[in-house]
Amino acid sequence: MDIPWLTLAIALPAVGALAVALVPPGCGELVKRLTLGVSLGTLLLVGSMALRFDPGSAGRLQFEEIYPWIPRFGVNIAFGVDGIALVLILMAAVLVPLVVLAAWRENEETDDSGKGYFALILALEAMMIGVFAATDVFLFYVLFEAMLIPVYFMIGRYGRGPNRRRAAIKFLLFSLFGGLLMLVAVIAVYVQGGTFLWADLVGPDGGLAGVDTTTARWLFLGFFVAFAIKAPMWPVHTWLPSAAGASRPGTAVLLVGVLDKVGTYGMLRYCLELFPEAAHWFVWPVVVLSLVSIVYGAILAIGQSDMLRLIAYTSLSHFGFITLGIFAMTSQSQAGATLYMVNHGFATGALFLIAGFLIARQGSAAIADYGGVQRLAPKLAGVFLVAGLAGLALPGLAPFVSEFLVFVGTYAFHPVPAIIATVGVVLAALYILWMYQRTMTGPVREELTGLRDLTGREAWAVGPLIALILLFGVQPQPLLDVINPAVEQTMHQIDATDPEPAVDPADQSASGQEGASE
């Protein structure tokens, strides 16, 4: 009997969210333990599924499940994963229990002792796994939109600062606008293709069959704008710093670390594979927008005085690298972009959590309110430094491999965008090291006297992320072994090939042998 792995991975946090919501008032500790247990159970389940994944399988999707939902309109509850979806589901499953640990002492001032917040985390986890696993376009759209509900309340109800409700509404309006465009495109895809099943729509040769060029380009835009807002990309990014700045750090981790990846994942899965001709036609506009996002996000990050907003703007820059890699359309750039999604989730997640530890101690996210922290809390400063160096893609840390692959693949596509993108690397060093200098070094501010170092619970929350950053920095191959076959399938579907090397390796080898003989 086949185990419905994906259904179980979605159902467990969904049922857990309901159980947490039904816990009687005054049982705050039970709420936290139950949430942590469910999230760890989900991680164990997803990990067991991942161990059974076969990267060399001839089939495109694995663990496929199809259940009729609305037969009259051909809508199914359909799940399945390839290597790209699998690594993103794993990333989400890793981050959720760490967010729960980090938020253990938060929300205790609310009237439900955080019960609502933890229930929303589990509900959101179920939707995140579902949206990456969905292979029915209509189901994907439903989950894409449904994720807005828990995030809206996590920001507006459980956020921080007087502007949290305004930030939540801004996030909601931007996302609903993009979702409306995508709904029109989803309906048009069904009319053209006669089905919502993704595997049937793309077909063996790639692309939505029977669609004229003009229609395909408009449908591409309908999906792309929705995904660009979710990602986010310049100029539809303005909701992100507001939402991140008004969120609890744990919410920011899930928002930037996981939810935003739905946008870049959607570009790979839907924009490219459903509309390959349109994707090729729009390559240069998207590349230009990606470069603007890289440089613009980095420049704005330098000028931020709020830690959470600064980290949010760094993510705008990083997502520029991801979209650049996707639309450079080489195997190296797309593998690097996918790996970047995972590594960015770990590195940025660590930065948000550590910033949250500082905010929990001092009640402020303002960079100017800190200074000399490394003298009082050397462990806290140490993990902050490692996470920050990962954010600027220091060699030896996980994001470096991702960024390097994006650069190499983009340079093979065209040298100019790759050269311009290096500006983002230089600026990254500036905003990360300057933030570290202003908060961790220098004389100790008087109001920080007595600041405690990293606690055991906090170490368990951030330690696994630091370990993963170090591990995948020196050994990224396990992830690439899973990602590369899926990227090759995508390249085939969009009829893209890697450019020929400027120097023939055989000629280079022969020249080397001649030099040796001489």
CA 33 to CA 203: how far, in whole Å?
Answer: 46
Angle at 90 between CA 431 and CA 480, to 5 degrees: 75
Whole-structure pTM value:
0.90
Contacts of 289 (CB under 8 A, 6+ apart): 228, 233, 234, 323
Confidence of residue 288 (pLDDT cuts 50, 70, 90): very high
CA 236 to CA 230: how far, in whole Å?
Answer: 9
68: β partners: 76
Tokens of 217: 């380009």
Q: What is the mean pLDDT of residues 298-316?
A: 87
At 365, is the secondary structure helix, strand, or coil? coil
Range among 138-147, 199-208, 358-367 with highest mean pLDDT value: 138-147
CA 442 to CA 450: how far, in whole Å?
Answer: 16
What one-character DSSP code corresponds to residue 368? G
Backbone angles phi, psi at 402, to 5 degrees: -60, -50
Residue spans per domain, the chain: 284-501
Res 96 pLDDT > 90: yes
Q: What is the mean pLDDT of residues 37-54?
A: 94
Predicted local confidence at residue 108, as pLDDT:
52
Q: What is the mean pLDDT of residues 472-498?
A: 87
CA 299 to CA 289: how far, in whole Å?
Answer: 15
Predicted local confidence at residue 284, as pLDDT:
92
Length of the chain counted residue by residue: 518
Q: How many CB atoms lie within 10 A of CB 215?
A: 15
Contacts of 439 (CB under 8 A, 6+ apart): 307, 358, 367, 370, 371, 373, 384
User: Do residues 254 and 124 touch, judged by C-beta distance below 8 A?
Assistant: yes
Long-range contacts of 357-361 (CB under 8 A, 24+ apart): 357/102, 357/454, 357/458, 357/462, 358/307, 358/439, 359/160, 359/249, 359/307, 359/308, 360/105, 360/106, 361/451, 361/452
Backbone angles phi, psi at 282, to 5 degrees: -95, 10
CA 110 to CA 127: how far, in whole Å?
Answer: 25
Predicted local confidence at residue 131, as pLDDT:
94
CA 258 to CA 246: how far, in whole Å?
Answer: 18
Angle, to 10 degrees, between the axis of helix 477-493 and the axis of helix 83-102? 130
Res 31 pLDDT > 60: yes
Confidence of residue 144 (pLDDT cuts 50, 70, 90): very high
Rounded to 10 degrees, the C-alpha dihedral 464/465/471/472 comes to 140
Instruction: List, for residues 401-444, the tens digit of each pLDDT value.
Output: 999 999 999 998 889 999 999 988 888 888 888 888 888 888 88
24: β partners: none
Predicted local confidence at residue 509, as pLDDT:
52
Predicted local confidence at residue 465, as pLDDT:
93
Confidence of residue 112 (pLDDT cuts 50, 70, 90): low
Q: What is the mean pLDDT of residues 246-262?
A: 87
Res 323 pLDDT > 70: yes
